[in-house]
Amino acid sequence: MPENYAALEESYPIVKELRQETELVWINPNKTAWAQGSKEIELTMADIDDAEARLKRFAPFIMKCFPETREKGGIIESVLTPIPHLQTRLNEKYGSGLKGKLLLKQDSHLAIAGSVKARGGIYEVLKHTEDLALEHGILTDYEDDYTKLCEPASRAFFSKYTVQVGSTGNLGLSIGIMSAVVGYKVIVHMSNDARQWKKDLLRQYGVNVKEYASDYSEAVKQGRAESDSNPMSYFVDDENSKNLFLGYAVAAKRLVGQLETLDVTVDEEHPLFVYVPCGVGGAPGGIAFGMKQMFGDAVHVFFVEPTQAPCMVLGMATGLQNKISVQDIGLTGLTHADGLAVGRASGFVGRVMMPILSGEFTLRDYKLYDYMRDLLETEDIFIEPSACASVQCVVMLNQLAESKAYLEKEGLTKKMPQATHILWATGGNLVPETIREEYIHTHL
Ligand SMILES: *Cc1c(COP(=O)(O)O)cnc(C)c1O
């Protein structure tokens, strides 16, 4: 980090606003037309297709190990639902002026992990499992019967291997549960933000949960070092993993059919807005990349971060990416949004997002709980505080000068009555009842 704030703030006035915990929107000046932007990215639609095909191959295995996925044939997917009552509430209570349709993508209710991490995390464990199984003859080829992986002989094979990951909670849950079920030894390195119930749940699966007094970046560092020293260990690297990223990207491909079912048109005259809470960047980045592949210039993706942990906007706005942390500008990185409590963003994701991302909002922690109650009271849907961050985007879109200017510049202002807005609900279903009650009564 440049020791000199003054110089950094002179070049990037937003740094001062971030340092002062101002709620803001940053519009990405580097966004390009998708025809051009897609050429700057090393990943393609073929990579998403490959990930989707792998998830299909594993569907019979998933269905067998996790009976709750039977109804969807072993495909881990969430519903997309209209939430008109929340829309009315936001317009009346906060003056949001939101026109068009408001939808909720309920990754909060994904099977197995109860969060968006059931996409990337589980995908990466399956990818690693398939690689090992093919290499060692546990599976003969892609056409083999993947339910073999449920058998004791297979579990005995995988028990020689270890999977490790650093996490603020939800990634550990998804990697931990899936790895334990395949038969791996699992070590989850949890940062100080991780909620106790997430650690307890993992231990019930026989996962070795290591706790650190430090933040996410440090937990990742420790986990990576421990894994690197063991040749039989695989480290899921949330900061750099293309596998995680592609697992998330598959969501967009499946969303196309869901939008059709809801009679939602997406084209130049009918813009689609997608809002995703951002931690290290893998989940929102993968989703954004997938959405761009499917909808090109008709989709506008915004991320949202807590004012104490705006690592992605800091990295992207200054161009320093993962070379700068929120602590470098005097923020704590501490937030009630445990899933977003990350001080240093993924450099890989930040670079991929440069030509793609429309912008980023930030919000104060107290709003997480207000928005949570708004959703619960109007739609009877519970999602965890981190996931509620996305509500901030639709509340502020028509109220902040910079986002209004974005709509104007992109020729969207007149099209807003035909627009569709998707709030990405990133977690919540596994939150125990007692903790839900606690959240519902939290007023900051
Ligand atoms: C992990 C997580 C996110 C953000 O994902 P990143 O890949 O860390 O950016 C958002 N919401 C919840 C609930 C999460 O657990």
Indicate whether 1 pLDDT > 70: no
User: Which ligand 1 atom sits closest to the C-alpha of 284?
Assistant: 9
Shortest-distance Cα residue to atom 10 of ligand 1: 277
* Cβ proximity of 99 and 419 under 8 Å: yes
pTM of this structure: 0.97
- Considering only CA atoms, give the Rg of the chain: 21
- Segment 64-90 mean pLDDT: 97
Shortest-distance Cα residue to atom 11 of ligand 1: 426
Ligand 1 geometric centre to CA of 283 (Å): 6
Instruction: Give dist(CA 347, CA 351) in Å, integer.
Output: 6
85 phi, psi to nearest 5 deg? -70, -35
Token duo for residue 246: 């592609």
Instruction: Give dist(CA 262, CA 231) in Å, integer.
Output: 49
Tell me which H or E stretch contains 308. none
Instruction: Give dist(CA 57, CA 51) in Å, integer.
Output: 10
Mean pLDDT in the chain? 96
Q: Grade residue 217 by pLDDT with cuts at 50, 70 and 90.
A: confident
- Segment 277-306 mean pLDDT: 98
Which residue from 314, 426, 431 has its CB within 8 A of the most atoms of ligand 1, so it is best to mutate?
Answer: 426
Indicate whether 195 pLDDT > 80: yes
In this prediction, what percent of the chain has a pLDDT beyond 90? 95
| CA distances (Å), origin 333, targets 173, 305, 420, 426 | 22, 11, 32, 20
- Segment 68-84 mean pLDDT: 97
* Cβ proximity of 374 and 89 under 8 Å: yes
166 phi, psi to nearest 5 deg? -100, 140
Shortest-distance Cα residue to atom 1 of ligand 1: 339
- Segment 240-250 mean pLDDT: 96
| CA distances (Å), origin 302, targets 59, 251, 293 | 31, 16, 16
Ligand 1 geometric centre to CA of 97 (Å): 28
> Which pLDDT value is given to residue 3?
61
- Measured at the CA of 137, the angle between CA 135 and CA 143, to 5 degrees, comes to 95
Ligand 1 geometric centre to CA of 133 (Å): 29
- Segment 207-229 mean pLDDT: 93
Shortest-distance Cα residue to atom 15 of ligand 1: 339
Indicate whether 124 pLDDT > 60: yes
- Segment 365-371 mean pLDDT: 98
Q: Grade residue 215 by pLDDT with cuts at 50, 70 and 90.
A: confident
